[in-house]
Amino acid sequence: MTKEETINQLQSKHAEFSTHVAGFGQDKVNTAVAGKWSPAGHLRHIYQSVKPLAMAMGLPKLAIVAVAGKANRPSVSYDELVARYKAQVEKGAVATGKYVPPTEQFNLAELQEKVSNIVTSLTDKISGWKEEDLDKYFLPHPLLGKITVREMLYFTLYHVQHHDYLLKRDYEI
């Protein structure tokens, strides 16, 4: 997937997810089924996941190298990256620490605006990268270890779709 295709997919899939969550309405968006995150909790998790990536994409490349290093292998395909992530989830991997949304009540409009703004920030920063540089640098992922920037973007694209699937699986609207 090219940089431009990735940007377009990130924008459209995050917007679709936000619209899906909005379909619950402010009165139900903060209500969770037993043992699951509320729809707003899922949206907050997406925000919490995209925010550090948007920050990282704005760092000087030397800072990225200092944190995670230069890639020593080619990027894997979208499908291969998704398979690696699914394998971790099947082994029981779950969000921890700062990636677990708080149980507070969220204002839907404010949360949607935050997600929209952070995705815009991310995609604007991606636009400033050369296509080939997406494969030259590693970023740390909490489950997958060091993955290339392109792979992190693939993960981010799949991740929002994964949470959309979870909402469809766990809730009826």
- CA dist 13 and 129 (Å) reads 21
- What confidence score (pLDDT) does residue 10 get? 98
Query: Model-level pTM?
Result: 0.95
What's the pLDDT at 141? 97
Domains, in order of start, for the chain: 3-24+37-170 (1.20.120.450)
pLDDT at 104: 87
- The per-residue pLDDT string of the chain (173 residues; one tens digit each, 9 = 90 and over) reads 999 999 999 999 999 999 999 999 988 999 999 889 999 999 999 999 999 999 999 999 999 999 999 999 999 999 999 999 999 999 999 999 999 998 889 999 999 999 999 999 999 999 999 999 999 999 999 999 999 999 999 999 999 999 999 999 998 75
Q: What is the SS3 string spanning 38-66?
A: CHHHHHHHHHHHHHHHHHHHCCCHHHHHH
Q: What is the pLDDT of residue 173?
A: 57
- Model pLDDT, residue 103: 84
Distance CA 35, CA 9 (A): 30
User: From CA 9, how far away is CA 56, in angstroms rounded?
Assistant: 20
Q: Is 70 helix (H, G, I), strand (E, B) or coil?
A: strand
